[in-house]
Structure 1
Amino acid sequence: MKRNICLVILVFFFMYFHSDVSAETSREYLIKVEDFKKVEELSKFLKIDFIDEIKEIEVIMIRSQSVFSDTVTNKIIMKYGIHYIEPNFKISIPEDQTFFELSNKETMITYSDDPFYDSDPLTQKGQWNLRVLNIEEAWKKETGDNIIIVSVIDTGIAYNHTELNDSYLEGGYNWIENNYDPFDDNGHGSWVSGIISAKRNNQIGISGMGDIRIMAEKVLDSTGSGTISDLIQGIIHAADNGADIINLSLGTDFYSQALKDAVDYAHEKGCILIAAAGNRPNSNPHYPATFSNVIATSATYGEPQDILAPYSNYGEWIDVSAPGGWDNNQNSFPDVGEYWILSASNMVDTYMYGTGTSGAVPHVSGLAALCLSSNPSATNQDIRYFILQSAVDKGSEGWDPFYGHGRINPEEAISLSNIQSVGGDGLMINPKHQIRKNPIIISFIMFVISLSIVMVGIVSKYLLPFMHRDKIKLYKRTRSHIRGK
């Protein structure tokens, strides 16, 4: 069956979310308290207003009538049993983003299936990002399960979009307007969500990584701005409301202990957290990607040999890489032959082009969902292991600071996740799958095998003659313990 598609296509060049010192929210602070009873004493000492309380990580948010000096901060910490005080920094999309709109007549195309998978009107590369991942082979093994939930913490989601309405799941929150309607009034969140779960084989538009449910936490407003406190509450709310995976296509260059506490809280609840490395091509830490309980993702581009995108951050904290695209001509327009990521926008049945590590993250989130669909009993550490262990090695042999463990490999990751849970403290690997060779593991296995052979020989030679049984059955069992990085 063929059908005509009338599309308005938006071009959105995503640099990346950033923050700077001058962008901290005016006189707002996050304070971790040891004893909430000391809060009253603190209010007498300082002229402050209490804005909110985040009980899960024992943090209160205040607004002061003046900026805290280092002297005041140290005095508060010493006198009132405060663990830390930090500014409530703002995070935002850069000002230099650009849009481009085509008229309906210019984009009238006749296709069947998901037409933009093979080609698109501007770059003619279509969904190269899925093809380079060999996603169709992965789909032969797993297409997803709608009980698996990815929380996209971003600008919200256009839940009325044809590509997203089936995958959208209520339960998220709008932290900007304090209501339960996380509609996307910017576009970035819908673009990210489409990469994860745009409807497959519906004869229009694009395809996502799989059949996956999306829950949205809106922590950024229509201009792409938000605060660390909103991000923290979004992470905690997602973890408390059934999210299996948390997609963080955002970040800041400034360390926040409160943000780390929220990440650790979600991880302890069993969530898999994945975050963007950032779009400033340097090795400076970028948060929350740098935190140990997060899968830090750098960006690649190209087909069939994808390489690191020139804008992508790198460093000793990078775990894995995934397609993020690249505007080769640097003119903020998707020209023929360029590798942009095409996905849903926040306007009904329109599509958006973008590039950035924020686009790499949802590929990893989608893969995590496919692995969890294949093995629902796997832990967040198991899923991390499957993704990193199966990655296609790029750059220097083994791990390197640009690609991490390599570029994600959906087919192999799903194969590795095809395991049997044996309960307790371990997992039984399906013997049909051969994981990447590790000399330490191999040496240990060879030692165990050799020891077993010696023990069987001793039993056979010395013990069997003394046993008064007609038949002896030996049952062997092996168990492999999988742990993440």
Structure 2
Amino acid sequence: MSSENLFKRLSGIVATIVTVALSASSALGQAFVPGEILVRARPGAMVEAHMHLSTRGLVVAQVDPWSGVKRVLVPIGAERGMADVLSRLGAIEYAELNGIGSGGLAPDDTFYAIQWHLKNTGQSGGLAGADVDAEAAWEITTGSASIGIAVLDSGIRAAHPEFAGRLASNGWDFVNNDDDPEDDHGHGTWVTGVIAANANNTFAVAGLDWSCTIVPIKVLNQSNAGTTFNLAQGLNYAAAQANVHIINLSLINYPGNATMTNALQGARNAGKILIACAGNNGIGNADVSFPGASPLTISIGATTRSDARWASSGTGQALDFVAPGASIATVSAAQPITNTRSVVSGCSFATPIASAIASLVLARSQELSQAMPDQAALYLLFLAGADDQVGQPAEDTPGWDEFHGWGRLNARRILRAIEPCIADFNGDSNVDFFDVQEFLSAFALQDPRADLNGDGALNFFDVQIFLGAFAVGCP
């Protein structure tokens, strides 16, 4: 049958299944191995089942000799659709996702139990679940050393064991103009600890990203103050570093002058993601406290362990999102180094949570062989994964508001948003009839996008995969 005739036939039958398919929702939040499914043949039908796999161009990677279950390779994004198609065949007992579990990814760090921003159990009077869902996010990825975050701050306690193996060699001190960005205040160490404190070392605390590389850039002095000139130097330097993907700006009260704007724009032009603090002076402060007030940054406010806005968190039109930022346990900058922690509050500590989520997203994109999102794409992922209306009803209204922005960031939901889903064929984040139209049009035009099983041919198997995926929906 020609593709044109098949297209006409399919167009005639699609309407009868779309209504049912649209009502199917994906309740499957379980993590699974991309590009794999598990298939078991019915007794006595092993040859026929194998033929079904072969004709669809599917490769059996491994067979369990005891159960006969096959680990089958499928195109990334087609896992649910292919499993649905195969499970309908008489020769196949079942086809399902190769799910991922774990022995539990709660780290063993001494003070992890009080890090409510990672896992809020209601400890110390908090609201259970008012967190970034870190443990579920770690089931998906714990980060990658190939992702670099420049922390423009007061420097870093480089000898601290919480940063062992995590610091790049190209850090710089623009306050003292040398290559030793040692922290003589503490703020930079606290901020960096929220992002990247080594986890599972039975010491102190856990960062949200367990693997990223930190490029410490000192722009604040021992009084935790800095000049526009030094900050601009730091931004320009970070923009020129190939190992920097994200720039964390836990900084407030700078002027939004030309020097600042040009440096921020230069970093954006270099492809860096800029995440900044929304201010610590309450109502309206997000609009006047730079660099976070600049539209060139993603501006982050702070919430409490009960999902309320932290009282001093900056609000305003410039605010984009919020993240936990009150009573955050992080790495202590005290000397000598001991197994302890510091507890700090402010948008300075909500901002690195957002930066760490961004670095996890970039790492996961690499794992999925996707292009890493730029700042605009990351913003959309944050938007897709933010928890809205979790704060006080008078402030956290539906959609964007000046108190919580688009909502409190949720690492698990944001990471789920980048998982490929072929059911959303037109990429508009909705699974609806327009996706069916787009797929059928691509199929009729012999568009390679419609070759869902990657066998180089457009045929009924591709249609089966799409319709199966469409019926299941996206996670």
Q: Look up the SS of the partner of 2:331 in the other structure.
A: strand
Which residue of the partner structure matches residue 406 of structure 1? 407
Query: Closer, same or farther in 2 for the Cα pair 1:472/1:139, shift >3 Å?
Result: closer
What is the identity, as a one-letter code, of the residue corresponding to 2:355?
A: S
- Supply the AA of the counterpart residue of 2:296: N
| Corresponding letter in the other structure for 1:379 | P
Name the structure with the higher helix share: 2
What is the TM-score when the length of structure 1 is the normalising length? 0.61
Is this contact kept in 1: 2:275–2:299, CA < 8 A?
A: yes
SS in 2 for 1:388: helix
C-alpha deviation, 1:432, in angstroms: 7.9
1:277–1:119: structure 2 CA closer, same or farther, 3 Å change rule? Answer: closer
SS at match of 1:163: helix
Amino acid at match of 1:145: S
State the Cα distance separating 1:386 from its structure 2 match. 1.4
Aligned to 2:332: 344
CA distance in 1, matches of 2:170, 2:403: 36
Code of the aligned partner of 1:257: A
Partner-residue secondary structure (3-state), 2:359? helix
8 Å CA contact retained: 1:118, 1:126 = no
Partner of 1:247: 248
The one-letter amino acid of 2:231's match is L
Question: Are the counterparts in 1 of residues 143 and 363 from structure 2 also a CA contact under 8 Å?
Answer: yes
Q: Which residue of 2 aligns with 1:322?
A: 323
Higher strand share: 1
Seen in structure 2, the aligned counterparts of structure 1 residues 259 and 408 have a Cα distance that, compared at 3 Å, is same
Shift of 1:169: 1.4
Compared CA separation, residues 209 and 453, structure 1 to 2 (3 A): closer
Matches within 5 A, 1:149-164: 149-164=148-163
Q: Percent identity?
A: 29
Give the distance between the partners of 1:208 and 1:458, measured in 2 at CA.
Answer: 49
Residue number in structure 1 paired with 2:235: 235
In structure 2, the residue corresponding to 1:216 is in which secondary structure?
A: strand
Counterparts of 1:224 and 1:341 in 2: how far apart (Å)? 19
Mapped to 2, the partners of 1:408 and 1:250 lie a distance apart of 20
* Two-structure CA RMSD over aligned residues (Å): 3.4
Output aligned runs, 1:130-149, within 5 Å.
132-149=131-148
Aligned: 1:295 with 2:331: no
SS in 2 for 1:321: strand
Unmatched 5+ stretches in structure 1: 1-111, 326-338, 419-428, 460-470, 479-485
Give 3-state SS (helix, strand or coil) of 1:118's partner: helix
Of residues 374, 379, 385 in structure 2, which corresponds to 1:384? 379
Distance in 2, Cα, partners of 1:197 & 1:126: 26
Q: Does 1:430 align with 2:425?
A: no
What residue number does 2:273 align with?
272
1:233–1:126 CA distance, 2 compared to 1 (3 A): farther
Which of these residues, 344, 361, 365, is aligned with residue 355 of structure 2? Answer: 365
Q: What are the superposed Cα offsets for residues 131-179 of structure 1, whole Å, 9 maximum, x if unpaired?
A: 8222111101000101111111000000100111221112011011110
Aligned length: 325
Q: Would the alpha carbon gap of residues 207 and 451 (structure 1) be closer, same or farther in structure 2, given more than 3 Å must change? A: closer
1:191-211 CA-partner distances (Å, limit 9, x unpaired)? 000000001010111000022
Report the Cα distance in structure 2 between the residues aligned to 1:296 and 1:473, rounded to whole angstroms.
48
Whether the 8 Å CA contact 1:416–1:433 is kept in 2: the answer is: no
Contact 2:252/2:280 (8 A) holds in 1: no
Letter of the 2:266 counterpart: Y
Change (3 A) 1:206 1:433: farther
Q: Could you tell me how far apart the structure 1 residues matched to 2:296 and 2:443 are?
A: 43
Gaps of 5+ in 2: 1-106, 116-121, 390-395, 447-456, 467-475
User: Shift of the alpha carbon at 1:293?
Assistant: 2.2
After TM superposition, the score normalised by the length of structure 2 is: 0.62
Q: List per-residue Cα deviations over 1:49-94 (Å, max 9, x = no partner).
A: xxxxxxxxxxxxxxxxxxxxxxxxxxxxxxxxxxxxxxxxxxxxxx
Q: Give the structure 2 partner of residue 482 of structure 1.
A: none
